[in-house]
Amino acid sequence: MSDSPAPRLLNLLVLDVTDEARDDPAFERELDDLSTSVVAAAEQVGFAVRRVPANRLGDVRTALAEADAVLVTGGEDVDPSHYGGPADYPGRGQTFADADRVQFEVVRGSVEARVPLVGICRGMQVVDVALGGDLVQHLEHPGHLNPDDVSDSMVDHPVRLADGSTLASMLGTTSLVVRSSHHQAVGRLGEGLRAVAWADDGTVEAVEHDTAPVWCVQWHPEDRGATGTVLTDLLVAARDAALARTTGDRSRRTAD
C-alpha cells in the first residue's frame, strides 16, 4: 500500500452577487437554483467548492487566496456607473455597485495571476467591464429573455461559435441551442478579450481571453432545462488549467 498522500482537491470559488435581501424574491430563488446547480456540477468534476457572495469582502478575499479557479455567476445588472453608461435605461432594476467592485477585483486578480476564470451570463458582463469594456444596456431584439414568467425567464435560441476558438474546441461544436435570460450584453470588449460566439441577431454570446485561461458564456448552461455538456466542459477546462498551473508552480519551486 502506498504511503503517498492523496492529492488535494482543487478549490473553486463560486462568486455570487449578494446574499442581501433582493427586491424580487422570485428572481432570487431562480439565481439560487442556478448557483446550486453550478456547485453540484463542480463537485462532480472534482472541485472543492466555496460559494461566496461578493458583498462579503473579507470572505471573498480569503476564498480567493485559496482558489485554484473562479466562476462568476449571474444576477442583476452591473451598475452603469462602472462603465460610464446612462443611469436610466429600459429594464433597469436593482443593482449592487459595491458588490460589483469586489467582483471586478476578483476578475482582475485572476487574470493577472492566470487563475482559471469562468463567467456565466452576468458573470461574462462583469469580466468585460472589469477589463475596461462596456455593455449594451438593453437589447431591442427579442429572444434573449422571457419577461412574462417570473418562475422561469429562460428562452432557447441558437448560437454560432467561431471556428478555431478555444471555446469551440472545448465544446466540440460551432453550433448550439442555448438557454438564456438576459436583457443586456457585452458591448465594447475589455482588454485581452475576443468575442467567439454570437446569436442570430449579432449579440455577443461568449468571450475568451487572448492569454489568460478565461472563458465566458452569456447563456445559462447550468439551467435545469439546458441540454448538452457545456457546464461540465467549462468546469473540466477550468479544472485542467488549474491543475496545470498548480503543477507548473510546484515544478518551478522544485527547480529553484
In order, the DSSP letters of 81-140 are GGTT--S--TT-----HHHHHHHHHHHHHHHHHT--EEEETHHHHHHHHHTT--EESS--
Q: What's the predicted TM-score (pTM) here?
A: 0.93
pLDDT of 250 reads 52
SS3 assignment, position 60: helix
Nearest to 201 by CA among 225, 216, 218, 215: 218
Nearest to 155 by CA among 195, 118, 123, 201: 201
Active site residues: 121, 220, 222
- For the chain, strand residue ranges (E) read 10-16, 47-53, 69-72, 117-120, 135-136, 155-161, 175-180, 185-186, 193-199, 204-209, 214-217
Q: Sort 164 into a burial class: Cβ within 10 Å, 0-12 / 13-18 / 19+.
A: exposed
Produce one character per residue of 150-161: b if its CB has 16 or more CB atoms within 10 Å, e if not: eeebbbebebbb
pLDDT of 4 reads 43
SS3 assignment, position 245: helix
pLDDT of 160 reads 98
Run means of pLDDT, 10 residues per run, the chain, 256 residues = 57 96 90 96 97 97 97 97 97 95 98 98 98 95 72 87 97 96 96 98 97 98 95 98 81 48
pLDDT of 89 reads 96
d(CA 244, CA 138): 39
The answer to whether the Cα torsion of 222, 224, 225, 230 is positive or negative is: positive
Please, what's the largest Cα pairwise distance for the chain?
66
Q: Would you give the DSSP letter of residue 150?
A: T
Main-chain dihedrals φ then ψ at residue 47, nearest 5 degrees:
-90, 145
